[in-house]
Chains A and B, each alone.
Chain A
Amino acid sequence: MAGLYPLAPFLALAGGFLLAACQWLILVYAPTEATLGLPQKIFYLHLPLAWWGLFSFFLVFIASGAYLASRKRFWDVLAGAAAEIGLALAALALISGAIWAKTSWGLWWTWDARLTTTLVMCFIYAGYLVVRGMDMQPDRRARIAAVLGIVAFLDVPLVFFSARLWSYIHPPSISLEPEMKHTLVACIASFALLWLGLLLFRWRLAQDAINLEETTKERLMRRE
């Protein structure tokens, strides 16, 4: 991860530029959907946000398991960074989805399986971040966060299936024209670069905060 960090600014910038270029694909190259019209264009940002958000939570799960197995600080920091980015992306997916829902379904929110799952997921990971921010011994905090990171991800499929039984209007899949597919793949790939850049930045920031804390403690002990 430390070896990858110098690439972070380039990845983030490349992701940003490519996403800007994707706007041309979205607005000009991809045809306008016949039934949903122009608001359907939100889909090209909504889907990458949701997918990368979910992938971030999966990374929290993997890093949490790896932390409990190895007790290496690296995994704990990675889980924290992934959770913050995942929460931000999932929240943006909810907001973009709500805007799209207002134009397509006529309401901002409905208790649909995917919407409910994403909202509950946001609450779960917000709670996870609250735990990470608690004032306690770092090793204990890391262990508790790792347990919560695993439990949280195990709950997600159950939330999805329960919400699906409750009500379901979000389309499970939609058929896309080839131009639409190309645009979607380009958007997902651009988001990948931006996501990796952000993850590296956030990981480095957390690592620097730990180093600063340890240096401060060391100096204070020397003075005593």
Chain B
Amino acid sequence: MLKAALLIASKDLRLTMGRGSGLLQALLLGLLLIFVFSLSLTPGQRMSAQGAAAIFWMASAFCQVLIFSTLYGLEEINGQRQGLVLAPSPAQGVWLGKALAGLCLLVASQTLFLPATIVFLGQEISDLWRLGLAIVIIGDIGIVAIGSLLGALSQGQSARESLLSIVLFPLLAPLFLGGIRIGSAVFSGKLSEGADGWFGIALAFDAIFVASALALFPSVYNAEE
């Protein structure tokens, strides 16, 4: 399964990066969101740390919707999905491959969103940056786990981005809340009580959704179009 997953991930990354337009669209949307929110500030004014963290995660969420829509859209042309369904490897390999490719693209996007948040929203990175890095990694794993599961759901549907958004965003609420609270601490340098609780929730989210995606993905992906 792991070999198939790595093959799918490398194929998807080559196709997405080769065309360029797939990731570029997601990146531009995220950057535009951060820029548009910066317009709410008067010259010299700084966004609150919590507000900036919320905007960073919102940009990541919209970017992720476009990433998984693009990744699952790669096989839509000429019914190539059937090729993956018939491949002699478990369907979960497709989920893992798409999730790995999605994770690489999401992390690549966030490396641009973070400086954009710092510059446009007037933030600074405090000594708590390790906590921030940890929540981004844990959060991203959860985001791609559920994104890869539900990305297959929207495959072949018209207006799949809007469909993915309305289904995904409420499900991601626990991760967003944790990401925003820890992100706020990283920007402000003040760690509020219960930080370990947020990591616990984010890890529980990752565990539940990785396990449920492994169990449920074949039902979504093998279903006839």
Among listed A12-20, A40-48, A77-85, A138-146, interface-contacting one: A138-146
Q: Which residues from chain A contact B163 at a C-beta distance below 8 Å?
A: 130-131, 134
Tell me the chain B residues, 206-225 only, with Cβ under 8 Å from chain A.
208-209, 212, 216, 219-220, 223-225
Interface residues of A in 133-170 (CB under 8 A from B): 134, 136-137, 139-140, 143-144, 146-148, 150-152, 154-155, 158-159, 161-163, 165-166
Q: Which of A15-66 contact B (CB under 8 A)?
A: none
A192 at the interface (CB under 8 A from B): no
Q: Of A119-127, A176-184, A195-203, which stretch is located at the interface?
A: A119-127
Min CB–CB distance B59 → chain A (angstroms)? 20
Contacting B at CB under 8 A, from A66-117, are 68, 116
Chain A nearest Cβ from B191, distance in angstroms: 14
Q: Are A151 and B209 within 8 A (Cβ)?
A: yes
Residues of B within 8 A of A154 (CB): 208-209, 212
How long is the Cα–Cα vector from A177 to B205 in the complex, in angstroms?
A: 39
Q: Is B103 an interface residue (CB 8 A)?
A: no
Are B205 and A158 neighbours in the complex by a CB distance under 8 Å? yes
The one of B146, B150, B173, B209 in contact with A162, judged by C-beta atoms closer than 8 angstroms, is B173
**Contact residues of B between 127 and 168, Cβ < 8 Å to A:** 146, 149-150, 153, 156-157, 163, 166-167
Q: Are A161 and B174 in contact (CB under 8 A)?
A: yes
Q: Is the CB of A151 within 8 A of B146?
A: yes
Contact of B167 among A139, A148, A162, A166 (CB under 8 A): A148
B157, A136: Cβ atoms under 8 Å?
yes
Interface of A is mostly: helix
A123 — which chain B residues lie within 8 A by C-beta?
166, 169-170
Task: Decide: A158 and B212 in contact? CB cutoff 8 A.
Answer: no
Which residues on A sit within 8 Å (CB–CB) of B20? none
Asked if B112 CB lies within 8 Å of chain A CBs, one says no
Neighbour of B220 across the interface among A137, A147, A158, CB < 8 A: A147
Which A positions have Cβ atoms within 8 angstroms of B? 68, 116, 120, 123-124, 126-128, 130-131, 134, 136-137, 139-140, 143-144, 146-148, 150-152, 154-155, 158-159, 161-163, 165-166
Q: Which 8 A-B pairs have the closest CB atoms?
A: A123-B170, A162-B174, A140-B223, A158-B174, A127-B167, A124-B170, A143-B223, A162-B177
B residues sitting closer than 8 Å to A (CB atoms) are 146, 149-150, 153, 156-157, 163, 166-167, 169-171, 173-174, 177-178, 181, 194, 197-198, 201, 204-205, 208-209, 212, 216, 219-220, 223-225
21 A-B pairs, CB-CB below 8 angstroms? A68-B216, A120-B170, A124-B171, A127-B166, A127-B167, A134-B157, A143-B220, A144-B220, A147-B149, A147-B153, A147-B219, A151-B212, A152-B171, A154-B208, A154-B209, A154-B212, A161-B201, A162-B177, A162-B201, A163-B173, A166-B181
